[in-house]
Structure 1
Amino acid sequence: MTEHGKIDLLIEARWVVPVEPHAVVLEHHAVAVTAGRIVDVLPIAAARARYAARETCRLDEHVLMPGLINAHTHNPMTLMRGIADDLPLMAWLTEHIWPAEARAMSAEFVRDGVELAIAEMLRGGTTCCNENYFFPDVQAGTYKRHGFRALVGLPIMEFPSAWARTRDEYFDKALQVHDEYRGDPLVGTSFAPHAPYTVSNESFERVRMLSDQLDIPVHIHVHETAQEIEDSRREHGVRPMTRLQGLGIVNDHLIAVHMTQLDEAEIRLCAEAGVSVVHCPESNLKLASGFCPTEELRRAGVNIALGTDGCASNNDLDMFGEMRTAALLAKGVARDASAYDAAFALRTATLNAAKTLGWGERIGSIEPGKSADLTAVRLDALETQPVFNVISQLVYACGRHQVSDVWIAGVPKLVAGILVDMDVPALRARAREWGERLRSQG
C-alpha cells in the first residue's frame, strides 16, 4: 500500500485483461501505478475511494492489457523491409541479405533501424523485444535512450563481420556489452550464437560455460528448415538438437527459435529440459520453412513464445497479426479447431514471452509488484463491434492501429496514438535515405 493512498497514476478501463489469472477479463477495473510499478488491480469505484492519483487516465472503450513482447526479432532490419521477398531461406540469406548487410552494416545503420523499429513496435502495443543482431552495444544504447525494454543478443558466429573479425573478438565484445548493462532496469543481454550451421562446437561449449556463469539465456535459430537437418546429419552425423544436447546447450537457458522440424523425442526433450520455443509463424510461412508443431509442444508442457522475426522476412513487427496467424496456423496444422485458443495466443505474446526472456517475475502480466508495461486498445471501432469475447476480439479481429496508449515502467510512450519524444518526420527521412543508399549499392 502506498502512503496515504497516494499514487502516480490510475488507469481506469472498460476491460482489463491481466493474462494471469489465465483467460480472465475484468470489467470496469482500474490499475494503480506508482514508481513505475503496479500496486493494485481493483474495481474502478474501489480504486477511486482508495487512491489519490497524481494523474488519472480514463479508457472508457478500451482493453488494458500487458504490453506485448516480441520474443524474436532483428530490429535493425526494418531498414531492409521488402528488400528480397518471395525466396527460400538460404537463397534469401546468401544471395541477398548477407551481401546487403556487408554493404550497409555499421553502427549508424543499427541505430537508425532500431529507432524505426521502436516507433513501429510502440504504435503496435509492443513494449519489449528479444533482439538478435550485430552491434549490440549500439542496440542497447538506443533502447535505453528511448526507455524501451529489450533483451539484446550478443552475436557469436565463426565468420567475420563489421562487428567482430574473429571468434575471440566476438566473445570479448560480448562480455564488454554484458558488463556495461549488468543490472540495468530496462536492458538485459543474452548470448546469440546465430545457428548450428554458423557456430562451431568450440564456440557452443564456450557459450554454455559463460551462460551458466552469468545466468543469461542463449538465443539460437534452430531446426528452422529441413535443409538444416540434412546438412547437420551429413556434417555432424546427428540432427542439430542432438548435437546441441551433447554440447550442453539444451537446458532452461535455451531460447530455440523457429523449430519447424521436430520429432516426438525432440518435443519431449524440450519439455524435460525446460527449453523455451519461440514461434515465428509469418516468417516461417513467407520463407516456406515449415510448420512449428505448436499444439504438440503446448500439450507436452513446453513454454511457447511468439516473435515476428525481422522485417526483411515478415515484413512487419505487428504482434496482433502474429497472434492471429499463430492461432489459425496451429489449428490447421493440428487439425483441431480448439488448438492454440485465443487466450493462449495472447499468453504467448505476453507472460510466456516474459518467461522466455527470464523476466517472468518482472513483466508479462498485470499483477501487483510487476513493472507497469501496459497497452491500451480501443474496441469501439466498427471492425471490433459487437464485443462478445474480449480476448477473442484482441486476437481474431483487432488491428494494431487500434492501440491508443502505451506505458513502459509507468512512463507514457504512446498517448492517444501519438508517439512521445520521437521525431516521426526525422525517422521517416532517415529510413528513406537508407532505402536510397541500399538501392544504389545493390
Structure 2
Amino acid sequence: MSTTSCLHPKWLIPVEPRATVLQNHALVITDDIISAIIPSEQARLQYPDAVHTDLSEHALLPGFVNLHAHSAMSLLRGLADDLALMDWLNHHIWPAEKKHVSDEFVHDGTLHAMAEMIRGGTTTVNDMYFHHEAVATAGLAAGMRTIVGCSILEFPTGYANNADEYISKAVTAHQAFAGQAGVDFRLAPHAPYTVADETFRKIIKLADQLDISIHCHIHETREEIEGSLTEHGKRPLQRLHELGLLTPQLIAAHVVHANDEELALLAKQGVHVAHNPASNLKLASGFARISAMQAAGINVGIGTDGAASNNKIDLLGDLRMAALLAKAQSGNPTSLNAAAALEMATLAGAKALGKGDITGSLVAGKQADIIAIDLSALETLPLFDPVSQIVYAAGREQVSHVWVAGKCLMQERRLQTLSLAELGDKARWWQQRIIQQIA
C-alpha cells in the first residue's frame, strides 16, 4: 500500500526552472517519488490522511550532488597539510594508505564522510577509492545515493599490484552489487600520469561492455601538463582525446589548467567537469575557469574532493566558494549568480552522473531526494532572496532535514541511519592506530 506525505516549507526551490521560488506550496511524496507540487491549501484538502510536515522557516530544495570525493580519506583529515599535490601524494598520502587502507578502514572512513555529507545536505556522492565493496556497503547503510568509483593505477598499493588486478577487482565488485538500488559503479583511472595508454584502452573497452561511465583526475596541476609534454609530447587532454576517452561518459575532475581550445574540445565531446574549489586552493593547484567552461557549453558540477585535501566535506561551503571564485577569476561580478551556482551543486551533478531524470531537481516523477534548510537563524536574516541567502550566507549547520528516495536520513539535525557517537569512537581509534604506526 502506498504511503503519502506532504512537506510544507516557507519556500520551495525546485531548481528547474532555474531561479524559481514558490511560496505557500507543498511537495507531495508517494513512497519514494515526488508525486506533485501544489498549493499547500490544496494539498491539505486533497491528502487529508497524509503525514503533513510544516517547515515554516525553511527552504526545501533538491539534495546536493557531490561530484568528486574520496570519502574514506576522512580518516586522513589533517594528516599532511600545507603541501603541494605531488609532495602530499608521494611522501605522505600514498605511504599512509599503503600501511592502513583495508576493508575496515574504507568502510569506517566512508561512513564517517557520509555522516558529514548528510549533515551538510548531500544526498548523492560520486566516490573514487579502493575496497569497492566496503564503499558500497557503507553507502547502503547510510542510505546515500552512492556512485562507487573503482580506482585504477599502474603501480602497486595495498589493494592491488597492477592495472589488470585493479580492473579485475572493479569488475568483481560491480557484479556483486548488480541490481542493488542506490549503488552504481564507475571505472576510475586515477590520472593521465598514473595510467598508461594500453590501460586506458582497456578501461574504455570495458566501460562500453559494462555500460558504465568513467571518472578521472585531469589537468589538475601545471606539473601534470609539463610531465605529459615531456613523456608523450602532447598535453594530457590531447592524449586522452586520441585514445577515445573524451565522451559524454567521462567526468573529468578538477580541469584547472585548460586553454580555450581544450575547453572547446571538452564541450564538443560532451565531457562533464567536477569542479573542486576548496581542494584546488588548498593544494595551490590553481583557479579553474568555470565561467569560460559554462560559456563554452560544458556541464560543470561541484565536488569536495577528500577530507585530506579540503579538509571539510561541506558542499554548501564549496558552493559559496565556487560562486565567489568564478567572479574573481573572470573579473565579472555577475558571473555564476546564485541560481546558477545552486544548479551546479544539484542538477548539473545529477546530469553528469546520468541521473538527471531521477534526482537533482524537485519535479514530479523524480525520486524524493530532498533537503530542508532552516533560514530563521540570525546569520541568514534579514532575508530578501532565499536562493542568494542559501548560496552566500547559509551554513551547513542550518540543514535540518534530509531525505533520499523518500527515506528520512536526518530529522531536526538528528541522523536516522548512523550514530555520531559510534563514528566518533571509530575516528579516534583510527587516529591512535595511525599515530602509533607513524611513530
TM-score under structure 1 length normalisation: 0.97
1:71 aligns with 2:55: no
Distance of aligned partners of 1:150 and 1:421 in 2 relative to their CA distance in 1, 3 Å threshold? closer
Instruction: Map 1:288-299 to 2 at 5 A.
Output: 288-299=284-295
Q: Which residue of 2 aligns with 1:400?
A: 396
1:222-241 equivalent positions in 2, closer than 5 A: 222-241=218-237
Q: Could you tell me how far 1:184 is from its partner in structure 2?
A: 2.5
The answer (yes or no) to whether the contact 2:70–2:127 under 8 Å persists in 1 is yes
The letter of the residue matching 1:28 is N
What is the aligned counterpart of 2:354 among 354, 358, 361? 358
- 1:22 is aligned to 18
- Percentage of matched positions with identical amino acids: 46
* 1:425 partnered with 2:421: yes
**Letter of the 2:4 counterpart:** D
**Mapped partners of 1:143, 1:303: distance in 2:** 26
8 Å contact 1:255–1:277 — kept in the other structure? yes
- The answer on 1:170 being equivalent to 2:166 is yes
Deviation at 1:182, TM superposition (A): 2.6
User: What's the CA shift string for 1:375-430, capped at 9, x where partnerless?
Assistant: 00000001001111111000000000001011111011101110113221111011
Query: Which of 136, 142, 151 is residue 138 of structure 2 equivalent to?
Result: 142
> Does the 8 Å CA contact 1:251/1:274 hold for their aligned counterparts?
yes
Supply the AA of the counterpart residue of 1:69.
Answer: V
Range moving further from structure 2, 168-177 or 89-98: 168-177
Structure 1: which amino acid aligns with 2:235? R
Measured in 1, the distance between the counterparts of 2:378 and 2:225 equals 47
Please list the CA deviations of residues 199-229 of structure 1 after superposition, one character each: whole Å capped at 9, or x if unmatched. 0111100111112222211100000000000
- Distance, in Å, in 2 between the alignment partners of 1:63 and 1:189 is 32
Correspondence list, 1:279-318, <5 A: 279-318=275-314
2:99 alignment counterpart = 103
1:271 aligns with 267
2:4 corresponds, among 2, 5, 8, to: 8
User: What is the CA–CA distance in structure 2 between the aligned matches of 1:120 and 1:186, rounded to whole Å?
Assistant: 19
State the distance in 2 between where 1:265 and 1:332 align: 22
Secondary structure of the structure 2 residue equivalent to 1:158:
coil
In structure 2, how many angstroms separate the alpha carbons of the residues matched to 1:64 and 1:316? 23
1:254 to 238, 247, 250: 250
* Residue aligning to 2:38: 42
Deviation string 1:153-186 (CA, Å, 9 cap, x unpaired) is 0111111122222322211111111122233220
1:308-337 deviation per Cα after TM superposition (whole angstroms, max 9, x unaligned): 000000001111110110000010000000
Structure 1 window deviating more from structure 2 (329-338 vs 146-155): it is 146-155
Q: Which residue of 1 aligns with 2:317?
A: 321
The corresponding residue for 1:391 is 387
Cα deviation digits, residues 250-289 of structure 1 (max 9, x gap)? 0101100000110111000111100001100010000000
Displacement of 1:54 in angstroms is 3.4
Aligned to 2:376: 380
Aligned counterparts of 1:41 and 1:284: Cα–Cα separation in 2: 38
Query: In the alignment, what sits opposite 1:125?
Result: 121
Contact 1:7 1:53 in 2 (8 A): no
Report the residue type matching 2:125 in the other structure: C
Contact 1:10–1:53 (CA under 8 A) maintained in structure 2 = no
Q: What is the CA RMSD across the aligned residues, in angstroms?
A: 1.1
Q: Is the partner of 1:250 in helix, strand or coil?
A: coil
Query: Is residue 215 from structure 1 mapped to residue 211 from structure 2 by the alignment?
Result: yes
Name the structure 2 match of 1:202: 198
Amino acid at match of 2:313: L
Question: Partners in 2 of 1:272 and 1:283 — Cα distance?
Answer: 27
| CA distance in 2 between partners of 1:84 and 1:425 (Å) | 26
Residue 334 (structure 1) aligns with? 330
Q: Distance in 1 between matches of 2:46 and 2:326?
A: 44
Cα distance between partner residues in 1 of 2:401 and 2:127? 23
Deviation of the 1:7 alpha carbon: 4.4
Q: Does 1:186 align with 2:179?
A: no
How far apart, CA to CA, are the structure 2 residues paired with 1:188 and 1:7?
26
Q: Any unmatched runs of 5+ in structure 2? A: none
Task: Give the match for residue 152 of structure 1.
Answer: 148
Tell me which amino acid in the other structure corresponds to 2:271: V
* Alpha carbons of structure 1 residues 200 and 29: separation in structure 2 relative to 1, 3 Å: same
Deviations 1:106-130 (A, max 9, x none): 1110010011111111111111100
Q: After the TM superposition, which of the residue ranges 35-44 and 224-233 deviates more from structure 2?
A: 35-44
Structure 1: runs of 5 or more not aligned? none
Aligned equivalents of 1:52, 1:146: Cα separation in 2? 32
* 1:436 corresponds to: 432
Looking at structure 1, the residues matched to 49 and 313 of structure 2 have their Cα atoms a distance apart, in angstroms, of 34
Q: Normalising by structure 2, what TM-score?
A: 0.98
Q: Deviations over 1:81-113 (max 9, x none)?
A: 111111110001111111111111111100100
CA shift digits 1:53-103 (9 cap, x unpaired): 432211000000001111100000110111111111000111111111111
SS at match of 2:42: helix
Counterpart Cα distance in 1 of 2:333 and 2:371: 28
Alignment of 1:41-60 (within 5 A): 41-60=37-56
In structure 2, give the amino acid aligned to 1:215.
D
* 3-state secondary structure, aligned to 1:257: strand
